[in-house]
């Protein structure tokens, strides 16, 4: 007796299973889990000495502040470069 194998899923089975959706959900869950673990590991308090003042904060806030300053600086520099290229043309 020979059993027939279905090599391809029909449209109804594909719509019910949706492997891309489950891969996306799994990926998002892993990213959220990583972020939660990252914040939990970086909650130690440190002293930061700025030029005019000193403050006590957790490491995660320093990381986020550095990220924000870097993003803002990158955006401003890209706009400056775009403005210079327009001016030359």
Domain ranges (residues) in the chain: 8-41, 45-89
Average pLDDT, rounded, for the chain: 85
* pLDDT at residue 47 in the model: 93
Is the predicted pLDDT of residue 6 greater than 80, yes or no?
Answer: no
* pLDDT at residue 3 in the model: 63
How much is the average pLDDT of 37-64? 90
Q: Are 75 and 81 in contact (CB under 8 A)?
A: no
- The count of other CB atoms within 10 Å of the CB of residue 64 is 13
* pLDDT at residue 19 in the model: 85
* pLDDT at residue 67 in the model: 93
Please give the DSSP secondary-structure letter assigned to residue 55.
E
How much is the average pLDDT of 2-13? 62
């Amino acid at each position: 007796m020979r059993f027939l194998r279905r090599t391809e899923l029909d449209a109804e089975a594909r719509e019910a299973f949706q492997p891309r959706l489950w891969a996306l959900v799994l990926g998002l869950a892993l990213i959220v889990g990583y972020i939660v673990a990252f914040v939990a590991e970086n909650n130690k308090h440190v002293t930061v000495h700025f030029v005019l003042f000193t403050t006590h904060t957790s490491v995660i806030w320093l990381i986020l502040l550095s990220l924000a300053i870097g993003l803002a600086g990158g955006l401003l520099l890209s706009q400056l470069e775009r403005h210079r290229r327009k001016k030359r043309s």
